[in-house]
Amino acid sequence: MTTILVTGGTGTLGRLVAARLRAGGHEVRVLSRHSQPYAVDLRAGGAALDAAVAGVDTIVHCASAQKGDEQAARNLIGAARGAGVRHLVYVSIVGVDEVPFPYYRSKLAVERLVEESGIGWTVLRATQFHDLLIMMFQGLSKLPVMFLPAGVRDQPVEVAEVADRLVELAAAAPAGRVEDMGGPEVRPLEYLKASGRRRAVVNVPLWGAAYRGFRSGGHLAPRRAVGTESFEEHLERRFGGGRVQAGSGRSGV
């Protein structure tokens, strides 16, 4: 068994990865900004980061933020090289090279840093988690009418299934860019509208290169629909009877 550091180990994905690695007999260190004894802001780096990676064989990099991911990766890679880490596993997003969305561009830049790190590496791209869509729909359903970007589909995947795959990859040899991982179904957003709140849906055409990328399906992996839990099944398991409500069919500008 190996010593494995999980960055973002208290987050939605990272905590599941850490728990599964421990269950597999690995020694696991959880790194996050507020989790002792490895409370580290990756964007700052420093001695605390060096201490966290000392003696580590493998890093599973799940930490992510809207800003500062590239600097965080540089600091992590520098510390990992200094500590002789042998394997760096990074979880990215399907479509980071297809959709010119700022957050995606940052994830792509981190992929390149990982590839050029000089450390054995593995990169897994996954589609969006069920949890993210639920958060989005819950926010949008606060209004009497739910406005959704017209023509956009999604392919949500169960986060626990992604965690299982990352654990497999972390326990294996560096594999480079592995096959993408997508949810079981590609469906229009209006038919993934969550929760028991009934809301009319208005499909709104947007503009810009990022919207065109999403509308063209650059963030989807239909040929890699390897996830097994559907969005409806996730809702049923999580909310106990929560259902997906189909959209009203209304559209507008």
pLDDT at residue number 15? 97
pLDDT at residue number 245? 44
Q: What angle do CA 96, 98, 99 make, to 5 degrees?
A: 75
pLDDT at residue number 148? 84
Mean pLDDT of all residues in 239-247: 52
pLDDT at residue number 192? 67
CA-CA-CA-CA torsion for 144, 204, 154, 111, nearest 10 degrees?
A: -120
Beta carbons of 107 and 69 less than 8 angstroms apart: yes
Residue 135 CB neighbours (<10 A): 12
Strand-pair partners of 60? 6, 89
Strand-pair partners of 149? 204
Residues near 142 by Cβ (< 8 Å), separated by ≥ 6? none
pTM here is: 0.90
Structure confidence by residue, pLDDT tens digits, 4-63:
999 999 999 999 999 999 999 999 999 999 989 999 999 999 999 999 999 999 999 999
pLDDT at residue number 249? 35
| Strand-pair category, 27-31 with 3-7 | parallel
Q: Which tokens hold the place of 186?
A: 């590609």
Structure confidence by residue, pLDDT tens digits, 187-211:
988 766 655 556 778 888 889 999 9
